[in-house]
Amino acid sequence: MMNLPNKITISRIFLIPIFLIIMLVPFSWGELSLLGVSMPVTHFVGALIFILASTTDWVDGYYARKYNMVTNMGKFLDPLADKLLVSAALIVLVELQIAPSWMVIVIISREFAVTGLRLVLAGAGEVVAANMLGKIKTWAQIVAISALLLHNILFEMISFPFDMIALWVALFFTVWSGLDYFIKNKQPFLNSK
């Protein structure tokens, strides 16, 4: 039977198609104006869904650690759910011409590379849980994506490009954490057949 943290992780995966439908189907829900920023209602609703889904990342980890429910399935599913959610959101942002495609390609390429490394290590009997740098990377991505989805709502009034700065920070931590994973796991990777 699946434990609660893993069920929460699965719920994050199930929120992805809902997010995609809200963001990409041309619903005529009109515009919303908040703090002097105008945006489609669908972007606001999509951002809320993305933020809700992202929050489950903290919730599942909290329950898994607090109640000693850390499982190999959770170690595999949690980063996979993060990668699926973040990749979907970033691709949507490129589709909407909000995020530069080259940055999104670098971020998603890192996610595929680390997933490949995890699969090689799993084949060697090793399960690699997310480390602190990987968690910082994930939260940097979530903050950047949220700011972009919300059209930089909190900073637009003062013309401060927080959303793009946050995306650069996310890109930095994405590359750094990817290199860190490969450096720390190079021996099992090199020894794999």
- How confident is the model at residue 11, as a pLDDT? 92
Question: Domain of 18: which CATH number?
Answer: 1.20.120.1760
pLDDT band at 129 (very low <50, low <70, confident <90, very high): low
Query: Between the CA of residue 10 and those of 3, 16, 79, 115, 181, what are the distances in Å?
Result: 11, 10, 11, 18, 25
State both tokens at 154: 């909190």
List pLDDT tens digits, range 62-90: 888 888 888 778 877 888 898 899 999 99
Range of the domain at 113: 4-191
Q: What is the average pLDDT score of the chain?
A: 89
Residue 137 host element (H or E): helix 132-149
Per the model's pLDDT, the better-predicted residue between 140 and 79 turns out to be 140
Q: Of the given ranges (4-13, 22-31, 126-135, 144-153), which has the lowest mean pLDDT?
A: 126-135
Per-residue pLDDT band at 193 (split at 50, 70, 90): low
DSSP string, 60-108: HHHHHHHTT---HHHHHHHHHHHHHHHHHHHHHHHHTT-S-HHHHHHHH
pLDDT (tens digit per residue) in 144-160? 999 999 998 888 777 88
Measured in whole angstroms, how far is the alpha carbon of residue 192 from the centre of its chain?
29
Q: How many domains does the chain have?
A: 1
Q: Specify the pLDDT at position 174.
A: 96
Does residue 116 register a pLDDT over 70?
Answer: yes
Q: Can you give the pTM of this predicted structure?
A: 0.88
Q: What is the pLDDT of residue 74?
A: 80
What pLDDT score was predicted for residue 166? 96
Residue 125 has pLDDT above 80, yes or no: no
